[in-house]
């Protein structure tokens, strides 16, 4: 029995070091700096030992290094459980194992650890780039296995064999992808930290909260409309609504407020727009429907504050269908508790703003809103991402001092003035606008489109949207944030891509990512049922799917087996002619031995059958010349003539 303790040949360690580098290096951005340096140092150390043909470090040295490194990981992450600590341990082992790699068994451990480490990359990213990198790394791991067991070979041969093996596995991958039962929820996550690090709107609003979000070009969601798309100035995507103000920060309604249990009453005036949104995971409940949703998915509700909320936080990318109207009347008869909350203000804050609003109390509510908007239009207010810090009376300091702010400053000040003047109002946050991707027809809404506006309740009209930012910087609503900010203001990199070719490249890449997200990462149970129904399984269950899976995998295995079976080598014309001549001689009772050369066989034929000596000698000389000398067509023709001239009906000797 061959033991796995056989030493590896000197040409194998470089393959395994490249494998360790390819599988571990993408984790460098997630690891602590000290661990990244340790991993890099260990791999360089092993490469130097191989280059100098020096002995590997003793076991006690490696043991101390492992203990110290594990203790450092436990200290860094407050334990050894969870995604970060677990991945750090795997990367550490991948870096240190080559330092004790002497035998084939050790080399196999490195390769298997590499395959396992590949899976951990999907805990951080499931993008196309990650998939391509892992496919290349998987090919490299397979090539390392071939090199380990097959010995020294040309690189092209090893790469070709690895590619062929992966090509044979491709049909099985497609069958398993289509038929293996899908699970709901995020696949690549761990319970402790699978849902951390989500970006997007917050469940509170304070000065600076949205302006910080503007600097991100990440996609918040995509929407595809059925039919005509509303004008850009009408694209308000409703997120969290805030109606509780503590003097600095806006929050949702306090739990003690008794909200109505009945659904809001929405009267559609204009056209209903139907669309489908693909919302990125943000670990919150709001689904960011176009204001105002008239139809929603069954797993969501319409809150008393008119935002669409899912039953559970959105922890994975999901697809939802809506119908919305941008011309409506909402809750013309409102619950007293909501109206009372929409008038509440903290005591003894912003006295100058209160005094200004008290002068408007004699006006009708519509006049009060117009007075506030005129204030923003006529006074010297500026729209900026770099507003100065505000103190204990932020609204007063903003309205009568700095007059520089972003959308949250204007929405907050407008709602405060409305409440101080006796008009119910609240702050609405979400996204405004969007950019059409002509490649796939989706409207792309980014984090840089985050926005805040106000909503005022007017008797007989219900809740009406007012956007004070539009009074100061109308180009923000009409054309986007890039045109509204003064020169020199910070912008997300995605907004700075003004070149047409860069925009086209970005659109194609994002369209490809959208397809990847929907058909690979978003291949959930519902989509699987839809696909299988189109393939002839109208009501797929685990029994029919298992039977189909077994049948198709069996057929593919049979095809691959037949393809890889040894095939009979084709016989060239020279060999075929010589074998035919020897077969004819066998009918005359003279059989050629397998080890017998053509000239020696001709001599034996001459001694046993002198009448066939001349013809056999001619055939043997032609064959020897064709096989071992310079071949030409005349010799092949003469050999074939010898076959025809040999009598076919001789009798074998007893």
Say whether both 143 and 215 belong to one domain. no
Cα distances from 342 to residues 85, 241, 333, 406, 455, in angstroms, run 47, 11, 14, 22, 10
Active site residues: 407, 451, 467
Instruction: Tell me the percentage of the chain whose pLDDT exceeds 70.
Output: 90
pLDDT band for 421, please (50, 70, 90 cuts). very high
Say whether both 216 and 90 belong to one domain. no
Residue 289 pLDDT:
95
For residue 378, how many C-alpha atoms fall within 13 Å in the half-sphere facing its CB? 6
Prediction pTM value: 0.71
Say whether both 315 and 441 belong to one domain. yes
Residue 191 pLDDT:
44
Q: What is the pLDDT of residues 378-392, one digit of tens each?
A: 999 988 888 888 888
Say whether both 297 and 440 belong to one domain. yes
> Is residue 129 one of the residues assigned to a domain?
yes
Q: What is the mean pLDDT of residues 530-539?
A: 77
Say whether both 127 and 228 belong to one domain. no
Nearest to 415 by CA among 377, 451, 366, 455: 455
Say whether both 262 and 389 belong to one domain. yes
Residue 195 pLDDT:
44
> Is residue 556 one of the residues assigned to a domain?
no
> Is residue 469 one of the residues assigned to a domain?
yes
Say whether both 216 and 76 belong to one domain. no
Residue 79 reports pLDDT greater than 80: yes
Q: What is the mean pLDDT of residues 397-405?
A: 92
Q: What is the pLDDT of residues 575-591, one digit of tens each?
A: 888 888 998 888 888 88
Q: Among 252-261, 339-348, 397-406, 523-532, name the one with the lowest average pLDDT.
A: 252-261
Say whether both 402 and 290 belong to one domain. yes
DSSP 398: I
Bridge partners (DSSP) listed for residue 268: 328
Nearest to 387 by CA among 408, 400, 404, 411: 404
Last residue of a domain, one of 122, 151, 180: 151
Last residue of a domain, one of 151, 183, 217: 151
Say whether both 295 and 409 belong to one domain. yes
> Is residue 551 one of the residues assigned to a domain?
no
> Is residue 51 one of the residues assigned to a domain?
yes
> Is residue 390 one of the residues assigned to a domain?
yes
From its phi and psi, is residue 53 left (phi > 0), alpha (psi between -120 and 50) or beta? Answer: left
Average pLDDT of the chain, as a whole number:
85
Contact 621, 605 (CB under 8 A): no
State the virtual CA torsion across 590, 593, 596, 598 in degrees, nearest 10. Answer: 40
Q: What is the pLDDT of residues 457-485, one digit of tens each?
A: 999 999 999 999 999 988 877 777 766 67
Say whether both 246 and 341 belong to one domain. yes
Q: Does the CA dihedral 45-47-50-51 come out positive or negative?
A: negative
Q: What is the pLDDT of residues 612-648, one digit of tens each?
A: 889 989 999 888 888 887 766 788 888 888 988 888 6
User: Of residues 130 and 520, which shows the higher confidence score?
Assistant: 130
> Is residue 470 one of the residues assigned to a domain?
yes
Contact 126, 521 (CB under 8 A): yes
Number of domains in the chain: 3
Say whether both 141 and 290 belong to one domain. no
Which residue range forms the structural domain that includes residue 237?
209-496
Strands 442-446 and 308-310: unpaired
Last residue of a domain, one of 428, 461, 496: 496
Angle between helices 83-96 and 104-120 in degrees, nearest 10: 150
> Is residue 341 one of the residues assigned to a domain?
yes
Say whether both 236 and 135 belong to one domain. no
């Amino acid at each position: 029995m061959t033991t796995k303790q056989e030493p590896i040949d000197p040409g194998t360690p470089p393959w395994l070091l490249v494998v360790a580098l390819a599988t571990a290096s993408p984790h460098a951005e997630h690891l602590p700096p000290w661990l990244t340096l340790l991993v890099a140092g260990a791999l360089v150390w092993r490469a130097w030992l191989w280059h100098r043909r020096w002995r590997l470090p003793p076991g006690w040295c490696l043991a101390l290094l492992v203990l110290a490194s594990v203790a450092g990981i436990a200290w860094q992450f407050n334990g050894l459980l969870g995604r970060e600590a677990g991945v750090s341990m795997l990367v550490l082992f991948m870096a240190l194992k080559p330092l004790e790699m002497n035998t084939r068994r050790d080399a196999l451990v490195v390769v298997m650890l590499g395959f396992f480490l590949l899976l951990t990359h999907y805990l951080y990213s499931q993008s196309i780039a990650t998939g391509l990198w892992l496919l290349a790394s998987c090919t490299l791991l397979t090539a390392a296995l071939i090199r380990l067991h097959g010995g020294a070979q040309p690189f092209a041969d090893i790469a070709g064999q690895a590619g062929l093996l992966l090509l044979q596995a491709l049909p099985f991958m497609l069958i398993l992808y289509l038929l293996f039962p899908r699970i709901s929820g995020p696949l690549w996550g761990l319970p402790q930290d699978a849902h951390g690090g989500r970006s997007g709107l917050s469940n509170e609003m304070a000065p600076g909260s949205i302006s910080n979000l503007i600097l991100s070009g990440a996609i918040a969601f995509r929407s595809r409309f059925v039919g005509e798309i509303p004008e850009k100035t009408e694209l308000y995507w409703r997120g969290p609504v805030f109606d509780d103000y503590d003097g600095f920060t806006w929050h949702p309604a306090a739990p003690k407020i008794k909200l109505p249990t009945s659904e809001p009453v929405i009267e559609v005036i204009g056209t209903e727009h139907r669309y489908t949104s693909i919302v990125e995971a943000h670990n919150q409940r709001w689904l960011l429907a176009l204001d105002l949703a008239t139809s929603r998915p069954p797993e969501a509700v319409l809150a008393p504050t008119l935002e669409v909320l899912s039953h559970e936080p959105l922890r994975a990318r999901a697809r939802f269908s809506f119908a919305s109207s941008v011309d409506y009347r909402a809750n013309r008869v409102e619950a007293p508790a909501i109206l009372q909350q929409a008038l509440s203000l903290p005591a003894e804050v912003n006295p100058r703003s209160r005094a200004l609003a008290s002068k408007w109390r004699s006006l009708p509510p519509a006049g009060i809103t117009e007075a506030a908007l005129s204030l923003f239009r006529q006074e010297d207010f500026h729209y900026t991402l770099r507003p100065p810090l505000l103190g204990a009376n932020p609204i007063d300091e903003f309205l009568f001092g700095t007059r520089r702010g972003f959308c949250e400053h204007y929405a907050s000040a407008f709602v405060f003035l409305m409440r101080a003047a006796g008009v119910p109002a609240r702050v609405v946050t979400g996204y405004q606008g969007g950019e059409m991707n002509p490649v796939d027809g989706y409207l792309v809404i980014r984090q840089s489109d985050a926005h805040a506006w106000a909503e005022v309740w007017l008797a007989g009209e219900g809740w009406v949207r007012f956007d004070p930012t539009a009074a100061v910087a109308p180009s923000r609503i009409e054309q986007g944030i890039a045109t509204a900010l003064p020169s020199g203001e910070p912008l997300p990199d995605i907004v700075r891509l003004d070149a047409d070719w860069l925009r086209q490249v970005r659109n194609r890449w994002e369209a490809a990512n959208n397809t990847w997200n929907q058909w690979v990462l978003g291949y959930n149970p519902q989509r699987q049922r839809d696909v299988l129904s189109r393939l002839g399984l109208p009501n797929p269950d685990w029994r029919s799917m298992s039977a189909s899976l077994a049948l198709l995998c069996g057929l593919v295995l049979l095809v691959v087996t037949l393809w890889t079976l040894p095939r009979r080598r084709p016989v060239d014309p020279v060999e075929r002619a010589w074998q035919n001549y020897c077969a004819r001689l066998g009918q005359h009772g003279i059989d050629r031995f397998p080890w017998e050369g053509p000239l020696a066989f001709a001599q034996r034929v001459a001694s046993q059958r002198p009448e066939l000596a001349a013809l056999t000698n001619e055939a043997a000389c032609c064959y020897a010349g064709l096989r071992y000398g310079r071949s030409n067509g005349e010799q092949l023709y003469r050999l074939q003539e010898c076959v025809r001239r040999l009598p076919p009906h001789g009798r074998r000797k007893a």
